[in-house]
Amino acid sequence: MNIDLAKYLLPEGVLDYFDIVDDNTQDDRIHFYLEEKNIRLKEHRSQIAQSRGFSPEMTIEDFPLRGKPVLLYIKRRRWTLLSSGRIVKRDWKLVAKGIRITSEFASFLKGTT
């Protein structure tokens, strides 16, 4: 996928936090597979955190393109705080305040904690 083109097809700001790992069209639908980037958590920056894979994949339907449904398959990253062993995820309430992700997309991510 051409990343410059994807910026126009995906919710604004999504590529700041997610990588496109695959895309395809199947059954007259457009599919984007996204994985959260391994970007250090700001709210836990004073602690050492290690990436521990992903939460189960979630599927959301985005705005259609040329009348074709667009499905986003999203894997959110999990980190383990080495000092406590606690598993943490990005706090999308904090992220939504400071980035350009559409309000609909941010609301979806906030609801998946």
- For the chain, the domains span 3-108
Asked whether the beta carbons of 74 and 56 are under 8 A apart, the reply is: no
pTM of the entire predicted model: 0.77
Structure confidence at residue 33 (pLDDT):
96
Tens digit of each residue's pLDDT, the chain (113 residues) = 788 888 888 877 789 889 999 999 999 999 999 999 998 777 777 788 888 899 899 888 888 888 999 898 989 899 999 989 999 888 666 454 544 455 666 666 666 54
22 torsion bin: left (phi>0), alpha (psi -120 to 50), beta (else): beta
Structure confidence at residue 40 (pLDDT):
78
| Residue tagged 């980035």 (tokens) | 99
Cα(first)–Cα(last) distance of the chain, in Å?
A: 29
